[in-house]
């Protein structure tokens, strides 16, 4: 975890230099604050809050910094969004963002940076889930305290956010089985009990709360999630599990 601490400190220091007085705060969420960080399989989830819109030249400097730091990050890299303070409290849904970065977009930025900056803005439903996790279990790395910046996320907005991530599970589960299986569990845990869980916690909840015939597939997903092992999936069983879970969530 020392490497993660050093990376986060560099991110904070350089963000302060680039964003200056416009920077309200930098916040860590995701697996790194939920007790399930795995260096080879987790990304580094960050939210950056600013007061005013960011000029394109500053976005360029900021992204160059992120891309450089990303070379020292775990394989899944840094994932971040920059949002204006005014959309945090009262919370706006779907949430407008000023800038987003993940390794999925790395090639786009490297090859067409001006196009990336021009187009990488809009709204993101995922931010409702990120804000909720942040309010419950996040960490302030720099700036104003979480409770001073982020307002409450309505339950229906949080549910819509996490539902949008798994609503196509019946057809998409084999694209990323571990991610989808554990996400289905945590969405059902929220629907049934109002629990806000990590993927790992969702899987553990699922083992205790879904029919026994599906426990093996959840155990497989948990094992792959927390280890370096890969799993051979029973595709028929995976689709059956997804159909069952979607039915339960909808009901």
Top pLDDT among 230 and 57 is at 57
Q: Tell me the average pLDDT across 89-101.
A: 98
> Residue 1: which pLDDT band, with cuts at 50, 70 and 90?
low
The runs of H, that is alpha helices, within 71-176 are 106-111, 113-119, 126-137, 146-149, 155-166, 169-172
Q: Inform me whether the pLDDT recorded for 24 exceeds 90.
A: yes
Q: Inform me whether the pLDDT recorded for 40 exceeds 80.
A: no
Neighbour tally for 17: CB within 10 Å: 10
Mean pLDDT across the chain: 96
Encoding tokens for residue 145? Answer: 């305290």
Q: Tell me the average pLDDT across 138-149.
A: 98
Q: Tell me the average pLDDT across 102-120.
A: 97
Top pLDDT among 219 and 38 is at 219
Q: Which domains does the chain have, with CATH numbers?
A: 2-155 (3.30.460), 167-250 (no CATH)
Neighbour tally for 160: CB within 10 Å: 16
Q: What percent of the chain stands above pLDDT 70?
A: 100
Could you give the CA distance from residue 212 to residue 160 in angstroms, rounded to a whole number?
28
Encoding tokens for residue 41? Answer: 């399989």
> Residue 248: which pLDDT band, with cuts at 50, 70 and 90?
very high
Q: Tell me the average pLDDT across 60-74.
A: 96
Cis peptide before 184 (omega within 30 of 0): no
Q: Tell me the average pLDDT across 165-170.
A: 96
Encoding tokens for residue 241? Answer: 């599990």
> Residue 162: which pLDDT band, with cuts at 50, 70 and 90?
very high
């Amino acid at each position: 975890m020392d490497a993660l601490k050093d990376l986060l400190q560099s991110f904070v220091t350089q963000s302060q230099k680039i964003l200056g007085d416009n920077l309200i705060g930098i916040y860590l969420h995701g697996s790194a604050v939920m007790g399930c960080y795995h260096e080879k399989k987790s990304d580094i989830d960050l939210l950056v809050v600013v007061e005013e819109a960011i000029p394109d030249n500053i976005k360029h400097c900021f992204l160059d910094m992120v891309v450089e730091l990303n070379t020292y990050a775990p394989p899944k890299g840094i994932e971040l969004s920059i949002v204006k303070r005014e959309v945090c409290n009262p919370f706006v849904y779907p949430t407008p963002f000023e800038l987003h970065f993940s390794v999925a977009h790395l090639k786009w930025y490297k090859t067409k940076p001006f196009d990336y900056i021009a187009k990488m803005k809009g709204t993101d439903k995922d931010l409702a889930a990120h804000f909720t996790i942040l309010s419950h279990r996040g960490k302030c790395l720099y700036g104003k305290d979480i409770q001073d910046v982020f307002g409450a996320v309505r339950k229906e907005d949080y549910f819509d956010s996490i539902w949008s991530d798994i609503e196509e599970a019946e057809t998409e589960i084999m694209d990323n089985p571990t991610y989808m299986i554990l996400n289905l569990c945590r969405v059902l845990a929220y629907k049934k009990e109002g629990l806000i869980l990590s993927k790992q916690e969702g899987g553990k909840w699922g083992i205790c709360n879904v029919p026994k015939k599906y426990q093996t597939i959840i155990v497989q997903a948990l094992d792959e999630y927390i280890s370096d092992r890969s799993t051979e999936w029973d595709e028929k069983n995976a689709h059956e599990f997804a159909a069952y879970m979607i039915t339960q969530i909808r009901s």
